[in-house]
């Protein structure tokens, strides 16, 4: 009869426990998705605990957020007077700068159309459609942790997008 001597039983047991918990955690991990597809007022958004600096005149607010590991996407849309939307860009960039300091200030450009904006993790979001814009402003550029803002100057709609 052959017998084996196992050394380091504690190490083997610890490894087995770590592997078990890692496999369990990987199976249980799920993305976090928060959606507010029904328009809400500013007061309702604040009661929901939505962290975004809405102007006092914001209405018809929509928000969608996706996160999983390091992946992140945030879409925000609201309606307000055009002048409020334009002035509010600085406030949103200031708010964003608190979480992502030392980034370059994004450029602002006048636009008469917007190419299709991909929001891969939060489809469908028919309320987030800066592609219908015919006259407006675009702030920022696509990229990781860079805010991108569109303002529809004909309809008074503010769009915000950030991905990671």
The answer to whether position 47 is within a domain reads yes
The answer to whether position 133 is within a domain reads yes
**89: its two tokens:** 């860009």
Instruction: Please tell me the predicted confidence (pLDDT) of residue 61.
Output: 97
**96: its two tokens:** 């964003």
Mean pLDDT comparison of 102-106, 109-113, 133-137, highest-scoring range? 133-137
Instruction: Please tell me the predicted confidence (pLDDT) of residue 140.
Output: 86
The answer to whether position 80 is within a domain reads yes
The answer to whether position 143 is within a domain reads yes
The answer to whether position 127 is within a domain reads yes
pLDDT tens by residue, 50-68: 999 999 999 999 999 998 8
Listed residue (52, 160, 34) closest to 99, CA to CA: 52
- When pLDDT is averaged across residues 86-114 and rounded to a whole number, the result is 81
What number of H helices and E strands is found in the chain?
3, 7
pTM of the shown model: 0.78
- When pLDDT is averaged across residues 143-163 and rounded to a whole number, the result is 90
Tally of structural domains, the chain: 1
Tokens 């007077």 belong to residue: 81
- When pLDDT is averaged across residues 90-118 and rounded to a whole number, the result is 78
The answer to whether position 2 is within a domain reads no
Domain housing 36? 31-163
Tell me the C-alpha to C-alpha distance, in Å, between residue 12 and each of 3, 18, 81.
18, 10, 65
Q: What is the pLDDT of the chain when averaged over all its residues?
A: 83
* Structure-model confidence comparison of residues 46 and 21, the more confident one: 46
Rounded to 5, what percent of the chain is helix, strand, coil? 30, 30, 40
The answer to whether position 6 is within a domain reads no
Instruction: Please tell me the predicted confidence (pLDDT) of residue 79.
Output: 97
The answer to whether position 38 is within a domain reads yes
């Amino acid at each position: 009869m052959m017998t084996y001597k196992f050394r380091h039983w504690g190490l083997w047991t610890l490894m087995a426990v770590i592997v078990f918990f890692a496999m369990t955690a990987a199976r249980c991990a799920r993305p976090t998705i928060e959606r507010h597809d029904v328009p809400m007022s500013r007061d309702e958004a604040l009661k929901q605990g939505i962290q975004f600096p809405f102007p006092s005149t914001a209405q018809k607010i929509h928000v969608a957020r996706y996160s999983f590991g390091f992946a992140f996407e945030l879409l925000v849309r609201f309606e307000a007077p055009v002048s409020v939307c334009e002035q509010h860009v600085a406030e949103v960039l200031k708010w964003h700068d608190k979480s992502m300091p030392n980034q370059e200030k994004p450029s602002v450009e006048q636009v008469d159309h917007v190419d299709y904006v991909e929001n891969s993790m939060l489809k469908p979001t028919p309320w987030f459609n800066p592609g219908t814009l015919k006259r407006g402003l675009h702030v920022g550029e696509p990229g990781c942790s860079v805010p991108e803002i569109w303002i529809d100057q004909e309809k008074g709609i503010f769009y915000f997008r950030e991905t990671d």
